[in-house]
Amino acid sequence: MIGASLEDSQNEDGSYETAISFYGEMENEVLNNKWSAYDSAGKKYEAHFRGASGYINTLPDSWKVGLIEMGDRNMPNPYQFRIEGLSQIPKELTLVREVVNKRYTDPDWSVLME
């Protein structure tokens, strides 16, 4: 994490939101997911991301192998989460990612259906 700041909301309604700037890596597709943020009291906030992403160690014909880089370290602006309704920077914040389009790397995976 690079830092956190209080910013004017991108909704242009006079409210504020917390922006968390960082560089990182993750598996699965960067799209088709939903992010939420929880403060130390357990209150849930919607989190939206913005910034450049790229692929690391992928095959020439498939992005499904390797990682997704969040934020390009060669660019001046890191990746950001914008957290709506969070009008102060908390001491502790938990980000949760719900993957809507999961990539399975085990070809023998199974699910018990009853």
Tens of pLDDT, residues 57-112: 877 776 677 788 888 777 777 889 899 888 888 888 898 988 766 666 777 777 77
* Average pLDDT over the chain, rounded to an integer: 82
Rounded distance between C-alpha atoms, residue 107 and residue 35, angstroms: 27
CB 34 within 8 A of CB 89: no
pLDDT of residue 12: 80
Which contacts (CB < 8 Å, 24+ apart) does range 94-97 have?
94/37, 94/38, 95/20, 95/35, 95/36, 95/37, 95/47, 96/35, 96/36, 96/37, 96/38, 97/26, 97/33, 97/34, 97/35
Please give the pLDDT value at position 30: 65
Token match 């999961």: residue? Answer: 102
| DSSP 8-state class, residue 59 | B
